[in-house]
Structure 1
């Protein structure tokens, strides 16, 4: 047992608990770091107690791999602590890797620690359901081009935010599900098309701004190579008000546990191919079993449904562990999603700053 790699999960919130459960279920030894943790948490595998520490520095014994599941704004701080302890550390970082303003520091850390190995989690790049969705499209409409790619990921986070759980005031809605939606888009668009989109200026984005939580719902539209329409939609407050609006194509699909709705759709000529990602809602208010995804092909001759059992998170974690513990070169950390969500949030920061300045001018009686 002591010969198994030892993984330390930093941050024991929702993401940290999930990483811990999956890593332990994979047979790895797991410890945790979280200053807020009290008592002795139970492990997933046989519910063994889990060793935990208040800080990275205080973690006893060897650590072969680190999994960073802290809030985005402290990712680089925690990575710096890990690399101070072990300049050759092997590290998994949850998405997004960091804030745009932290990118120079992240790159400096990586440059000063060439022996370190870092992978950013990208679970929907490992979703077999998305590969099968594209296979369905190729099978049924092999000679027809894709004319639209649509992605909608929402979750009702109002109770969490009101209870004081992490609120991304740097990016708003763009810091929660948007990185996952970009990963989905990168799977469904050709690589060159996705690169051109993610590196291009923002064309059209509409959203709802909350005075405390920043952007709570947004919808982006773009026309990419060959005239393909790309649409991304997300909300953290349930269905958004009418001025942003849930896209018509997403409305027929219900919300599941926690107000979640995770959809990807391809339009190909007269056909629609849709993936409903776990958790999938049922008409009676229930849901499909965990890690079950539903693929629907709406064809001129009728409708076909397929259920797929798959855990993108488990796939991504196991792949990351294998790559980090191996010796093959790793690609550079992909920071394009960080810059994209920052560019989207910028559209609303400017509007908020203008409104704040206008309000201040009105209150003071001075010019705006």
Structure 2
């Protein structure tokens, strides 16, 4: 499709959704862009603009100034079962990696030093511990990755998890102050997107839209929750109104009509999910197991479900 557009208009200005292409097409994509230097291509990356992540970074500096981050956990899940049954949102090339994983990498980029993030992207998947659920319809329907990075003299543990067949669960305690919170705004959420960051004795948690907390409390769309806890004490609990998608599209539109030189798209995250998908596809399952009620087939890799590098 991109080639067709550029053949029609070599100076086209195009906004691409993620993932920009299949893994085997990355070379063709970069070649195509090189052949059309006057075209302008922007790939959307909404979580690069989430204000809740700025707030979280500020809270880390406030409560643990100068303390290195020791752990980052990012979880993005969405139950796509009904869509998949109807033939929609079926990605057999990347599996679960083609849905939310690039969003998770965008979040990780906001929290890691640039050098550490680049090192992580370039690392071979065998350096991580991967726990995958294989699915005959979807290649891999759930994946958890554990990695360890060295930042200066400190070690930082990363845990990324995503699933496209698991229902969302209620996360986080009920708000002490219910201003801005309501019950039964909408049916139970079918997804959740949250992250936790540990530094010193504190844990900063960001629940990104949509947010449902214990007790049935919900926030309106485009509202996010940021909390800070030390041991069992809640030190900070804040609701932030923000639309990262709106910001991303407005900035992309401005970039597309700007006369400034546009650097080529950053395909590092795309190469990362391609490497992960190829690594998972290369694994030889040890045995077949009985499908679960949703059709997924957990397939043991070396050492059980975990593939350890």
TM-score tier after normalising by the smaller chain length = 0.7 to 0.9
Q: Is residue 295 of structure 1 aligned with residue 226 of structure 2?
A: yes
State the partner residue of 1:211: 136
Q: Which runs of 5+ in 1 are unaligned?
A: 1-77, 241-245, 357-368
Q: Which runs of 5+ in 2 are unaligned?
A: 175-186, 289-309
Q: Is residue 281 of structure 1 aligned with residue 206 of structure 2?
A: no
Q: Is residue 234 of structure 1 aligned with residue 159 of structure 2?
A: no
Residues 90 and 214 of structure 1: CA distance in aligned 2, closer, same or farther (over 3 Å): same
Once residues 63 and 232 of structure 2 are traced to their aligned partners in structure 1, the CA distance between those partners, rounded to angstroms, is 11
Once residues 332 and 234 of structure 1 are traced to their aligned partners in structure 2, the CA distance between those partners, rounded to angstroms, is 28
Per the TM alignment, residue 285 of structure 1 is displaced from its structure 2 partner at its CA by 3.5
Q: Given the alignment, which residue of 323, 327, 335 partners 2:259?
A: 327
| Runs of 4+ residues deviating >4 angstroms | 250-254, 352-356
State the partner residue of 2:12: 89
Residues 300 and 352 of structure 1: CA distance in aligned 2, closer, same or farther (over 3 Å): closer
User: Secondary structure, in 3 states, of the residue corresponding to 1:96?
Assistant: coil
Once residues 213 and 294 of structure 1 are traced to their aligned partners in structure 2, the CA distance between those partners, rounded to angstroms, is 32
Residues 221 and 251 of structure 1: CA distance in aligned 2, closer, same or farther (over 3 Å): farther
How do 1:113-262 residues align onto structure 2 when only pairs under 5 Å count? 113-202=36-125, 203-226=128-151, 227-238=155-166, 252=172, 257-262=188-193
Once residues 125 and 269 of structure 1 are traced to their aligned partners in structure 2, the CA distance between those partners, rounded to angstroms, is 25
Once residues 111 and 263 of structure 2 are traced to their aligned partners in structure 1, the CA distance between those partners, rounded to angstroms, is 21
Residues 346 and 252 of structure 1: CA distance in aligned 2, closer, same or farther (over 3 Å): farther
Indicate the structure with greater helix content.
1
Say whether the 8 Å CA contact 1:209–1:348 is kept in structure 2.
no
State the partner residue of 1:312: 244
Per the TM alignment, residue 96 of structure 1 is displaced from its structure 2 partner at its CA by 1.1
State the partner residue of 2:22: 99
Once residues 171 and 230 of structure 2 are traced to their aligned partners in structure 1, the CA distance between those partners, rounded to angstroms, is 19
Per the TM alignment, residue 257 of structure 1 is displaced from its structure 2 partner at its CA by 4.9
Residues 264 and 296 of structure 1: CA distance in aligned 2, closer, same or farther (over 3 Å): same
Say whether the 8 Å CA contact 1:96–1:337 is kept in structure 2.
no
User: Secondary structure, in 3 states, of the residue corresponding to 1:105?
Assistant: helix
Indicate the structure with greater strand content.
2
Per the TM alignment, residue 206 of structure 1 is displaced from its structure 2 partner at its CA by 0.9
State the partner residue of 1:35: none
Once the two structures are superposed, residues 126-175 of structure 1 have per-residue CA deviations (whole angstroms, 9 ceiling, x without a partner) of 11111111111111110321101110000000011001102010011111
State the partner residue of 2:268: 336
The number of residue pairs the alignment matches comes to 270
Q: From the CA coordinates, give the structure whose radius of gyration is larger.
A: 1
Once residues 109 and 121 of structure 1 are traced to their aligned partners in structure 2, the CA distance between those partners, rounded to angstroms, is 19
State the partner residue of 1:80: 3
State the partner residue of 1:64: none
Residues 258 and 81 of structure 1: CA distance in aligned 2, closer, same or farther (over 3 Å): farther
Length-normalised TM-score, structure 2: 0.82
Say whether the 8 Å CA contact 1:293–1:307 is kept in structure 2.
yes
Say whether the 8 Å CA contact 2:46–2:247 is kept in structure 1.
yes
Length-normalised TM-score, structure 1: 0.69
Once the two structures are superposed, residues 15-37 of structure 1 have per-residue CA deviations (whole angstroms, 9 ceiling, x without a partner) of xxxxxxxxxxxxxxxxxxxxxxx
Once residues 6 and 253 of structure 2 are traced to their aligned partners in structure 1, the CA distance between those partners, rounded to angstroms, is 18
Once residues 94 and 21 of structure 2 are traced to their aligned partners in structure 1, the CA distance between those partners, rounded to angstroms, is 11
